[in-house]
Structure 1
């Protein structure tokens, strides 16, 4: 996969791209990451990239020329048009499902904006996806791009040491992940659930599914609205509801 990031602050990405999974993914040639300072594509002597909005108003607006020229620079004439992602509070809320969708692409381009907004011609003529990482406002799109890139790259083949790690993550299965334990089996009088040390893999899988369902039911019941529950899972939820009532 090729990922290009258009940013006014490319140095922000040095630490993120040079450590952990993203570093390993580049070493494995699973992804090529480049950050382009789109100020370099400004046609103005002062390299300005923003201007006052037509019609008046507060704030500055990113001009179209630097973004259009930068997109031309990172896009080969013969290649399939890349997915061009605009980090924007007006965009769709980012989800694991979207990460999985983007992980199937060959080329992603992220536009990280600043100031009051973008010239609308950028949105209408270049962008394929508008994405928000949540209902809050950041100074610019860089942090959002880092979040999305990390979540996408870890899904690429052979990036994680164990392919099942990504498949069983919270949200990938549609449910929150079950609790995890490791050695020692007893620490300060706190014991690991006996089923996990029993060696009975069928019982372990059942325990994990129950705990995953319980955690989702307790913390993110909204996820269950679209989850295809089996009859057994429905019965487990009924039992959880009865236990809650008894406690209350």
Structure 2
């Protein structure tokens, strides 16, 4: 059966993952900046094996769907018991699902300001609708495609928000220039050598003229956004129009 969550009083951002495959975590989040932040206590991780809440000998947690259809559905009684066991863990209850609202940078910022999050990783065809509503699970999608389970989506969501936690990045100045921070995709990046295979770094970037460099970055960011993400560009233009009219 699940632990008594003796780590609930730890400082830092609390991640609680309910999954059939606890060994998938922390996965890539145990490396690089996220891994260092985990080891230093900026965030902490609790994994809960959903199968521990099955009462039958086979430890099955799914059954056939009413009305027919392919695949199996996770039982509401077992899911509810698992969620009840983590009732003392802080943060919103998230359920990665193709039906959910699209996860984006603004959502990552909101989650990073929470004390934590509880993420239920579904498998099979998904969860019984009744427990989704009863437990007020917030369905969240990382894109218009289907995964074998919610674990990869949970890792992506956590990676996006963990890097926003205070102390994870050495400096926060670079965050303001990343993709989506100003409604635009990021401008092209260059480093040494200046001349690589006959391709030379744009002269503006090596000029030392800060105003010209800033203008170049904005121009390129706008151009790339307009070309690759018309939806973002349209919203960016609308926001600019609102800002101009309010002055």
Please classify the TM superposition score into its range, dividing by the shorter chain length: 0.7 to 0.9
Check conservation: 1:40, 1:66, Cα contact below 8 A: no
Shift of 1:14: 4.2
Shift of 1:230: 6.9
Tell me, which stretches of 5 or more residues in structure 2 are unaligned?
Answer: 1-12, 243-247
SS in 2 for 1:91: strand
Tell me, which stretches of 5 or more residues in structure 1 are unaligned?
Answer: 232-248
* Structure-1 separation of matches of 2:64 and 2:33: 40
1:41–1:166 distance in 2 versus 1, CA, 3 Å: farther
Q: Does 1:145 align with 2:157?
A: no
Q: Deviations over 1:163-182 (max 9, x none)?
A: 12333211122100011111
* Structure-2 separation of matches of 1:142 and 1:206: 41
Shift of 1:27: 2.1
Check conservation: 1:83, 1:127, Cα contact below 8 A: no
TM-score normalised per structure 2:
0.86
1:64 to 73, 76, 81: 76
Q: After superposition, where does 1:180-219 map in structure 2 within 5 Å?
A: 180-219=189-228
Corresponding residue for residue 98 of structure 1: 107
* Structure-2 separation of matches of 1:50 and 1:123: 15
Q: After superposition, where does 1:170-181 map in structure 2 within 5 Å?
A: 170-181=179-190
SS in 2 for 1:158: coil
SS in 2 for 1:118: coil
* Structure-1 separation of matches of 2:23 and 2:41: 22
Check conservation: 1:100, 1:152, Cα contact below 8 A: yes
TM-score normalised per structure 1:
0.86
Shift of 1:64: 1.8
2:30 to 15, 18, 23: 18
Instruction: Give the aligned length.
Output: 229
Shift of 1:87: 0.9
SS in 1 for 2:25: helix
* Structure-2 separation of matches of 1:102 and 1:125: 22
RMSD: 2.0
Corresponding residue for residue 240 of structure 2: 229
SS in 2 for 1:135: coil
Name segments (4+ residues, structure 1) moved above 6 Å: none
